Amino acid sequence: MRISSVGTAYPPNRYPQAEITQALAKRWEGKLEEPRILNRLHANCGVDFRNLVFPLDVYPSLIGFGATNTAWIKAAVELGELAVTRALDRAGITAADISAIFFASVTGIASPTIDARLINRLPFPVTVKRTPIFGLGCVAGAAGIARASDYVRAFPDQNALLLSVELCSLTWQDDDQSIANLISTGLFADGAAAVVVSGSDSALAASTQPGPRILATRSTFYRDTEYVMGWTIGDLGFKIVLSPDVPKVVTDNFLANVQGFLSDNGLTLSDISSYIFHSGGPKVLEAMETSLSLPPNALAPSWKSLSEVGNLSAASVLAVLEDYLVNNPGTPGTYSILAAMGPAFCSELVLLRW
């Protein structure tokens, strides 16, 4: 099994963080008890730029769940198609070569799902197997790769496609000036990523492309942590649940998870040459660095992604993965860990060998 390619796509409306902050401060004028808190929280998110699915002046007109979700469906199809096309082109295949699609998002809902709508736009086989995934949040990028690898393990001559589209700006809530929502509006952004995962007997797996092989995966569920992250969903749409305990949960659990996973595969942390981690935010990345005692710049691509495009929820770790494949593939024979954490609370680990 191998990761054959990654393709990303971002909306055309790109803004500096300060411009987004100013727009929200104006939009919420009279609702913020202390406007300087919004400025401070956004400045501390580690984000310099974000791409948004709409121009900033459009968002006040999107009122209620129906309007925002309808906008999400249209934009998710268009952005998802672009990410899929880029991933397929990089792999040198077409949609006709895909046997299974896994679709992950937590910022909108649709039935038929986005993957089904894409089958009507791209030449996927009518026999393609579809698995929509909703609710995993930030962890879904790594979990999606793991589930796609499960599929090609069972069907080693086939290729699977993972697509994540996250349009986090469509979850902004005008009537929620909680610290959690203020942080959310400064941290999360819009984007899509697609990954081609190939079975060991497929033509892609036998090619000379530099994609890493998937050796093992692990899911870990942390009991009684539902309060840490997620959504409450009501008439106005998705309202963020984001506890300040997120970094503590990472610190308390991540090292043992990684060490146990590596030990079961005959490895230790000293065997890992690179870390492909979800860009969850400064405190999350710092907690990962501290818990694993990582050397300086070990997570530089994750920090770079956070700064340049923000936290893309499930698509973030896939964007970091693309950076590795395109700009810094590992030396043949070296190992990497791909990891993300998200609602439940839970973690997903993927062991890769270049």
- What pLDDT does 55 receive? 97
Residue 351 CA to residue 183 CA, distance in Å, equals 31
Residues of the chain with pLDDT under 50: none
Taken in order 302, 305, 310, 314, the sign of the CA dihedral is: negative
**CATH number of the 2-198 domain:** 3.40.47.10
Catalytic residue among 45, 138, 168, 346: 138
- What pLDDT does 210 receive? 72
- The label of the residue with tokens 């910022």 reads 107
Asked if 168 is an active-site residue, the reply is no
Distance of CA 22 to the CA centre of its chain: 26
- What pLDDT does 208 receive? 63
Residue 339 CA to residue 80 CA, distance in Å, equals 22
- Torsion from C-alpha of 27, 30, 34, 40, nearest 10 degrees: 0
Contact call for residues 193 and 305 (beta carbons, < 8 A): no
* Assigned architecture for domain 213-353: 3-Layer(aba) Sandwich (3.40)
| 2-198 and 213-353, same CATH topology | yes
Question: 3-class DSSP state for residue 64?
Answer: helix
* Residue ranges covered by each domain of the chain: 2-198, 213-353
